[in-house]
Structure 1
Amino acid sequence: MSSHEAREALSPGLARRLLALVAAMLVATVGVFALGARADAAPIDGAITNLTITNRDGTPVTGPVTPYQALRLNGTWSVPDNSPAGSTFTLTYPDTLTYDGGSLTTPLKNAAGDTVATATVDLSTHTVTFTLDDYVTQHPRGITGGFTMETGTNGNIDYTPGDPVELEFTGSVTPNPSVITIEVAPRTERPNDGKATWFTAGYHGVGSEMQSVVALSKGHSGEVTIVDHPRQGMILTCDRAPEVFAAATLQDDGDIPHTQALVEGVDYTYTCDTASNTASYVIAQADPDLYYDVSFFSTTNVPVENLNSGHYQNDATITENGVPTDVTGVATVTGIGGQADANGHKVAVGDYVWLDTNRNGRQDAGEAGIPGVTLTLTGPDGKPVFDIFGKPVNPVTTDADGKYSFPNLLPLPAGEHYTVTVTPPAGLEPTTPSVGDRAGDSSTGSAESVDLTADGDDDLTLDFGFVPPMVSVGDYVWFDEDADGRQDTGETGIAGVQLTLTGPDGAPVTDVTGAVVAPVETDADGTYLFPRLPVLKDGEHYTVTVTAPEGYQPTKGGVGDRAGDSSTGRAASEGLTTGGSSDLTLDFGFVKTPPTTPPTTTPPTTLPTTPPTTPPTTPPTTSTPPVPPTTGQTPPTRRTPPSTVTRLARTGAEAGGLAAIAAGLVIGGVALTRLRRRQH
């Protein structure tokens, strides 16, 4: 039944009911569209700027362009902050340019893949309309972008060869109109064979048809074979014969008038193979005085809007007298290209994790950042956070300099804050927190931001310092007054005693700051400490060796527990396998060294010796008869030799003196011996 017959078969009542139903559906449809429209969306004037014409590869156009030369239109755009979704701006291009894209609708996306705006081409009015997407609702600031349009000059261009041609653009352009001047050269000759490929406009939104024209120059004679081969998924339309045109002269635009078919009587053969996706057109006898255009067609059932963006290639081989010549044409699917971006009202937090070498809780010059540390962000409710793009904020790691950042965060109401939690790096522990101002201090475990209520606010003071874990050993040297080997109440420390530390390998120790541990001395109370020592492995020990103070010797060792006993000469630590631990039981007690007494020698008692008394020897007396005095003469007087009398008197005195001296020595020796014994 034909549609006309079907209409006549409807009863009047049924027809009225159908009409009422259709009307109701139309009203409902209009209502839906009315509800879906954004009342605040409006056209935006002056959004498009910086229009330029370049070659397709983006290089500047130098010299005159030829008709049908492939070109590219470039431009930038921006709209006011808080422009609502659905707002539009337009570009109207002159009819002397073509739109060479296959797709009429193209999304303009940001680097993250979000669609910021959509460009739609109206071929009938030569207008591109840009429409802001819902993305701008959450990202109302800095809405900008750039675009390209694949274009070219066409046969409608009105020009005098060699004269400049003004291309005028209108719509939401600044200035309006915007004019680009080009120079167009005549193209009355076709020196070489070539190929042109494009998507045909009549198939937009239905399917994707691509037309590929092999253009032959003059001079071909004899048999000429043209083999066409589309690529990228385009399939030859084998049931559609090639369109062939020929002419002896070209139009000013360099094209053959496609108003006359190939001259009748020319012998040609057309074959098409779907398996190999190739078509062959053979001219049995080409006329060297004619130009030829041979058009092949290929298609796909996928609408061009759904094709992968980029270029679709069509190859052809022209063979004459056994010599092949390859030509290639490329069709562009995405005629409109470009990018866009927009920013929300955003805040940020960060920014530093470092090794606190001097362990003072401050970020000092020369202290390095720690790379690869994981940090996690949570919101005021302790839950994961979504950024201004609506995407979850994942944990981040510090870079090579120890820096980190959580950007593009939503502002929070006053009194609410973001929290950053750090995962401590292996083998390190937090340094001292909250030393000094926020800009240079450290937090332990987590840090909370300040208020971030306005666009652009940030808090880059959420920093975390770490130190290697450390242990210590010590701590006492004392005078063990009662020599019992225990640290008793009232016994005092010995100051100035030197102690030396060695590691598990018996070598000097390097502390956690990188300094070699030097010997220490006890303080006024007899205590000592080796701090900032690296943590030990199980079974390892530090050893402290004491230098005995002068006048002392070690007391008894190992009496009672470690906390109150004494070690002799050296002591080994215990434990110290976890950071913050210490062994303060490495103690040394001393007693005074007893004085050394030299052996006592008693000299023998010697009494003075009195020499025997020898009676004086009196010479014998000889009796001499008296001589009678002589008158006038005195007789001599007899005397005792004085020497004899004097010697005898002195000898007796000396013997008594010697006896007295000897007796004094004996008495003094005895007294001295008794005195020494009392002292000991």
Structure 2
Amino acid sequence: MMNHFHLKAASVVAALLAAAMTVLGIGLLATPANAADIPGARISISTTSAVTQQWDQVDLTCEWSVPDNSKPGDTFSLQLPAELRWFGSSTFDLNNKTGQTVATAVANPQGLVVFTLTDFVATHPLNVGGACNFTTQYAVQPGAGGSTQLNFYVGSTVVRVPVAVNGPCTVNCDPAGPTSVGKAMWWSDPAQTELESIFYMPAMTSRTNDVVITDTPAAGMAIDCSRVTPRVGKNLNADGKVSEPYDDAQYPATVDCSPQKVTVSWKGLPKGEHVELFVVTPVTDASLDVYQNNGTVSIQGRESIVGAQTRRTNAGGSGDGTAAPTPTPTPSTATPTPAPSTATPTSTPSTSTPTPTPSTATPAPSTMAAVAVTTKQPSAQAPAPTVSGQLASTGAQGPGVLLVAAGLLAVGSLLAYAGARRARRRSH
């Protein structure tokens, strides 16, 4: 009885294992191929920008291509050098002239740009490539001048790009400060979600001076009143801006601020004092390409209108491909098999010794020989294209799993049969 129980249990376990392996094998067979990195992708990069100081803008252009027969979902990447940080839109499309997207690109904060091919390459697998353009910022202090080499990484390939560097000032470099009233504005973050402005003016010339600055940003941005920074002082740094020690406590500013307008005023500033005002304006409408910020500067009642405009920097590019030619079938050269004659020969009675009439029909060739000839005829279709790059996983291990499952099922059945026979013998 105990042996019968063991045989029955073993057969049940084997059957369950076989079922599980069968389901697993079917699942693996149904698993789609995974996207692959494209080792043969190529990107060439160039720039005409020159840098003078940290955070200068560097505009770059590129040409890209991938091997023929790359697949939708396959990717290739571009890593910025440590000297640059991505600046502007972090996603963009590479479209052809009719607006079809050939590839998409996504840049992360670490400067890695990943390009992904779309379904377009399934129908246009040849000569896939195009151009791209994007903007970066020089994230470190530049060298002494001349040129510096930036190393971009495309997969495992290094692309070296020279960039001109304007060295620091060495002659007549004492900062004189602004010579006129003005305003400047720039993006304060790589994602371009907020802008920063500076109002500047020459040093005070009168014995005592009253100054009033107003800032009224246009639609698409609003003033952050917690980041309005007035600044007063006698010293300037190498960039011509007010530097420490500041005189803010000695000559405090009066600030009246709302998201649409800020007014900052000083009274009784002495001759030789420099005045600046920094204003941060977060973007409220990210769909705009251009942002405008206007204001006024009044010194001793003389008012000047100032303004600044900043454009959004956008990455973009193009792409295209060529459809694979349709193979032209070659007519078969196999000799057709003539149908055997069904006519019944008619004999003519004769009193003389009959002379057999030779048959004029051509003997029918063997149909087996015709099949063999046809089988050996080379195909007229074009040879299958060779896929370059890393092959994707296709789940080809599925049939092996099914064979194992079938074996386990057979073992389980034999064990069940043996258990049943042993039970019958014991019952007799």
Question: How big is the shift at 1:66?
Answer: 4.7
- Counterpart in the other structure of 2:127: 142
Contact in 1 for aligned 2:38/2:70 (Cα 8 Å): no
2:101 pairs with 1:115: yes
- Counterpart in the other structure of 1:179: 161
**What CA deviation, in whole Å up to 9, does each residue of 1:107-164 have, x standing for no partner?**
22222222222222222x233222222322222222212222223435x22422xx22
Contact in 1 for aligned 2:178/2:240 (Cα 8 Å): no
- For residues 85-104 of structure 1, what are the structure 2 equivalents within 5 Å? 85-101=72-88, 103-104=89-90
* Counterpart secondary structure, 2:122: helix
TM-score (normalizing by structure 1):
0.37
**Aligned pair in 2 of structure 1 residues 78, 315: CA closer, same or farther (>3 Å)?**
farther
Question: How big is the shift at 1:97?
Answer: 3.4
- Counterpart in the other structure of 2:358: none
Question: How big is the shift at 1:219?
Answer: 1.4
**Aligned pair in 2 of structure 1 residues 328, 83: CA closer, same or farther (>3 Å)?**
same
Contact in 2 for aligned 1:186/1:254 (Cα 8 Å): no
**What CA deviation, in whole Å up to 9, does each residue of 1:380-410 have, x standing for no partner?**
xxxxxxxxxxxxxxxxxxxxxxxxxxxxxxx
Match of 1:226 among 213, 237, 243: 213
Contact in 2 for aligned 1:242/1:297 (Cα 8 Å): no
CA distance in 1, matches of 2:121, 2:45: 23
Question: How big is the shift at 1:199?
Answer: 5.6
2:208 pairs with 1:209: no
Match of 2:303 among 323, 332, 335: 323
Segments of structure 2 that go 5 or more residues without pairing to the other structure are 1-29, 331-380, 383-428
Question: What is the percentage of aligned positions where both structures have the same residue?
Answer: 21
Match of 1:130 among 96, 107, 115: 115
Which structure has the greater CA radius of gyration? 1
CA distance in 1, matches of 2:83, 2:67: 32
- For residues 453-602 of structure 1, what are the structure 2 equivalents within 5 Å? none
Contact in 2 for aligned 1:249/1:256 (Cα 8 Å): yes
CA distance in 1, matches of 2:68, 2:268: 67
Please tell me the residue identity of whatever aligns with 2:193: E
CA distance in 2, matches of 1:284, 1:38: 73
CA distance in 1, matches of 2:96, 2:276: 46
- For residues 379-394 of structure 1, what are the structure 2 equivalents within 5 Å? none
Question: How big is the shift at 1:213?
Answer: 1.8
**Aligned pair in 2 of structure 1 residues 414, 76: CA closer, same or farther (>3 Å)?**
same
CA distance in 2, matches of 1:214, 1:345: 57
CA distance in 1, matches of 2:168, 2:263: 32
CA distance in 2, matches of 1:248, 1:128: 46
Question: How big is the shift at 1:342?
Answer: 2.4
**Aligned pair in 2 of structure 1 residues 284, 199: CA closer, same or farther (>3 Å)?**
same
Match of 1:281 among 238, 254, 264: 264
Please tell me the residue identity of whatever aligns with 2:298: T
Question: How big is the shift at 1:320?
Answer: 2.9
2:285 pairs with 1:296: no
Match of 1:81 among 68, 79, 82: 68
Contact in 2 for aligned 1:44/1:172 (Cα 8 Å): no
Question: How big is the shift at 1:70?
Answer: 3.5
CA distance in 1, matches of 2:188, 2:119: 31
CA distance in 2, matches of 1:320, 1:113: 54
Higher helix share: 2
Please tell me the residue identity of whatever aligns with 1:200: D
Contact in 2 for aligned 1:246/1:260 (Cα 8 Å): no
CA distance in 1, matches of 2:56, 2:121: 37
TM-score (normalizing by structure 2):
0.56
CA distance in 2, matches of 1:65, 1:44: 36
Contact in 1 for aligned 2:232/2:242 (Cα 8 Å): yes
**What CA deviation, in whole Å up to 9, does each residue of 1:546-603 have, x standing for no partner?**
xxxxxxxxxxxxxxxxxxxxxxxxxxxxxxxxxxxxxxxxxxxxxxxxxxxxxxxxxx
**What CA deviation, in whole Å up to 9, does each residue of 1:347-378 have, x standing for no partner?**
xxxxxxxxxxxxxxxxxxxxxxxxxxxxxxxx
Please tell me the residue identity of whatever aligns with 2:304: P
- Counterpart in the other structure of 1:314: 293
Match of 1:51 among 35, 41, 46: 46
Please tell me the residue identity of whatever aligns with 1:81: D
**Aligned pair in 2 of structure 1 residues 326, 130: CA closer, same or farther (>3 Å)?**
same
**What CA deviation, in whole Å up to 9, does each residue of 1:178-224 have, x standing for no partner?**
131312232663545441221634xx5xxx73222215255146333
* Counterpart secondary structure, 2:194: strand
Please tell me the residue identity of whatever aligns with 2:318: Q
CA distance in 2, matches of 1:96, 1:286: 42
**Aligned pair in 2 of structure 1 residues 285, 115: CA closer, same or farther (>3 Å)?**
farther
Please tell me the residue identity of whatever aligns with 1:90: S
Question: How big is the shift at 1:95?
Answer: 4.0
How many corresponding residue pairs? 292
CA distance in 2, matches of 1:195, 1:246: 18
CA distance in 2, matches of 1:255, 1:136: 53
- Counterpart in the other structure of 2:319: 340
Structure with the larger RCO, 1 or 2 (CA within 8 Å, 6+ apart): 2
CA distance in 2, matches of 1:209, 1:138: 39
Please tell me the residue identity of whatever aligns with 2:92: T
Question: How big is the shift at 1:241?
Answer: 4.1
2:233 pairs with 1:267: no
* Counterpart secondary structure, 2:158: coil
Contact in 1 for aligned 2:178/2:200 (Cα 8 Å): no
Segments of structure 1 that go 5 or more residues without pairing to the other structure are 1-34, 55-60, 347-410, 416-452, 455-680
Question: How big is the shift at 1:68?
Answer: 4.2
Question: How big is the shift at 1:280?
Answer: 2.8
**Aligned pair in 2 of structure 1 residues 164, 316: CA closer, same or farther (>3 Å)?**
farther
2:157 pairs with 1:168: no
* Counterpart secondary structure, 2:129: strand
**Aligned pair in 2 of structure 1 residues 173, 40: CA closer, same or farther (>3 Å)?**
closer
Please tell me the residue identity of whatever aligns with 1:326: V
CA distance in 2, matches of 1:330, 1:36: 50
2:91 pairs with 1:105: yes
Question: How big is the shift at 1:249?
Answer: 5.1
Question: How big is the shift at 1:323?
Answer: 3.3
CA distance in 1, matches of 2:247, 2:163: 38
* Counterpart secondary structure, 2:103: strand
**Aligned pair in 2 of structure 1 residues 215, 74: CA closer, same or farther (>3 Å)?**
farther
* Counterpart secondary structure, 1:236: coil
CA distance in 1, matches of 2:238, 2:215: 28
* Counterpart secondary structure, 1:235: coil
Contact in 2 for aligned 1:73/1:148 (Cα 8 Å): yes
Question: How big is the shift at 1:42?
Answer: 0.7
**Aligned pair in 2 of structure 1 residues 230, 331: CA closer, same or farther (>3 Å)?**
farther
CA distance in 2, matches of 1:311, 1:209: 13
**Aligned pair in 2 of structure 1 residues 152, 118: CA closer, same or farther (>3 Å)?**
same
**What CA deviation, in whole Å up to 9, does each residue of 1:22-42 have, x standing for no partner?**
xxxxxxxxxxxxx99962421
CA distance in 1, matches of 2:178, 2:48: 26
**What CA deviation, in whole Å up to 9, does each residue of 1:69-95 have, x standing for no partner?**
444112211111222223333333334
Please tell me the residue identity of whatever aligns with 1:170: F
* Counterpart secondary structure, 1:200: coil
Question: How big is the shift at 1:294?
Answer: 0.7
Question: How big is the shift at 1:166?
Answer: 1.0
